[in-house]
Amino acid sequence: MELTDKLEILADAAKYDASCASSGAPKRNSIGKDGFGASSGMGICHSYTPDGRCVSLLKVLLTNYCLYDCQYCVNRRTSNVPRARFTVAEVVKLTADFYLRNYIDGLFLSSGIIQSADYTMEQLVQVARELREVHQFRGYIHLKTIPDADPALIAAAGRYADRLSVNIELPTQDSVQKLAPEKSVHTIKLAMGSIRRKLDEKAEEPKSPRFAPAGQSTQMIVGADASDDQQILDTAETLYGSYKLKRVYYSAFSPIPQSPKSVPLAPPPMLREHRLYQADFLLRSYGFQASELLPATGGNLALDIDPKLAWALANREHFPLDLNLAPPHMIARVPGIGLRNAQRIVELRRLRQVRYADLSRLRCSMKKISPFIITADYFPARDTTPSEQLRRSMADAPQQMNLWPELQAA
């Protein structure tokens, strides 16, 4: 099989992994048309480094042959898809060639499981080792870690990779048992734990060998099982706390050809994935707890409003908040005020009283914040508008469904 044919199969097979999510731009290409270029180059996706830079990555699988039969996965052993396998040398060559032509800044490499977890992990490590030691490759490398692999191999992966990730797959042990019977949450967490220990050792002993400087991440599939957003966010919160993950990625389940009956026929609404990312950001950066964002009775995040606005509407007793007196963390909880603007407001009030026009100058969403704030010249009585009415006035405008998506993609 030609290298380009393998690339087509193995880049397509890797697209379901969201942990280095690409942009949402529509697909365009110039084949048979005027112009040049394509927005969906084979295997090239965009990701963000911890310092906020956008980097292009070659995102491929080493192979899509797999011994496992995870029901939600297009590469499961019972799936009838074209199969291919790169050699280590082929992935190294593709990465080096693409890098030298300035197509990519790095590599995202995952794999189906072949022969054994250790054998597969060895192959992944060998790609990274050859790139670093033979080709002196200085670009970004993200390696997917096989949870059952020997911890020594995971430690070796961390010497060469910038980031390691182990997919938790689904939020509960029951769901993993049902949909990915060869996997176990216990083993996945052991692998995450061994990465965390190596990261801690490195932090305590800076002169020890390099280990995954961009930390570890994971991915959870949304909508393949019956778990609700509360279970998903609870699991994410536990993972952040226990394993110091840099990120949890949420991937909306995408129905696959000839999918088994154990998984749904339709994908969840894309907005659900988006709301989970918003809620996740509130957990990581705003000090929210999962239990504040969803009631103890469980359920999903609202789709029509963002999770911070939903929290504010459910907790009206905290508002209106005096921006000249409130603690900084509460200012950041006002809908329409982000972290950066909360910081600017705190800096401004050291010099003088914050006024209503200051917020407009900071480009805060005035429609959103007005019911929730007090400034030196704006002190509404406690807003008694029912939360439901406020919610309707602030909800995202409904969007027209796209009846002919294939025309848009053409």
Minimum gap (Å) between residue 155 Cβ and ligand SF4: 21
Question: Which residues are CB-contacts of 54 (< 8 A; sequence separation ≥ 6)?
Answer: 46, 47, 48
Q: Give me the torsion for CA of 290, 291, 292, 295, rounded to 10°.
A: 120
Q: Min. distance of Cβ 123 from ligand SF4 in angstroms?
A: 14
Q: Quote the least distance from Cβ 157 to ligand SF4, whole Å.
A: 16
Identify which of residues 75 and 230 has a Cβ nearer to ligand SF4 in the complex: 75
Q: Nearer to ligand SF4 by C-beta: 125 or 180?
A: 180
Smallest distance from ligand SF4 to CB 220, Å: 13
* Strand extents, DSSP E, 96-137: 106-110
73 lies in the site for ligand SF4, by CB under 6 A: yes
Smallest Cα–Cα separation from 106: which of 150, 147, 138? 138
Binding piece for ligand SF4, criterion CB under 6 A, among 3-11, 41-49, 71-79, 191-199? 71-79
Q: Site for ligand SF4 (CB under 6 A): which residue of 7, 9, 59, 76?
A: 76
Shortest reach from residue 202's CB to ligand SF4, in Å: 28
The candidate with the shortest Cα–Cα distance to 371, out of 401, 393, 344, is 393
191 touching ligand SF4, by CB under 6 A = no
By three-state DSSP, how is residue 239 classified? helix
Closer Cβ to ligand SF4, 253 or 288, answer by number: 253
Among 45, 70, 154, 301, binds ligand SF4 (CB under 6 A): 70
In whole angstroms, give the CA distance from residue 162 to residue 90: 21
Q: Assess 75 for contact with ligand SF4 (CB under 6 A).
A: yes
Determine the distance from the C-alpha atom of residue 190 to the mean position of all C-alpha atoms in its chain, rounded to a whole number.
Answer: 21
Scan residues 109-168 and list those touching ligand SF4 (CB under 6 A). Answer: 112-113
What residues does 142 pair with on adjacent strands? 108, 163
Rounded Cα gap, residues 218 and 365, in angstroms: 33
From CA 374, how far away is CA 383, in angstroms rounded?
Answer: 11
Question: Of residues 14, 66, 128, 309, which one binds ligand SF4 by CB under 6 A?
Answer: 66
H/E segment holding residue 14: helix 3-14
Structure tokens at 282: 């509130």
Nearest to 232 by CA among 290, 156, 159: 290
Nearer to ligand SF4, 147 or 335 (CB): 147
Stretch that binds ligand SF4, among 73-81, 126-134, 211-219, 391-399 (CB under 6 A): 73-81
Binding site for ligand SF4 (CB under 6 A): 66, 68, 70, 73, 75-76, 112-113, 180
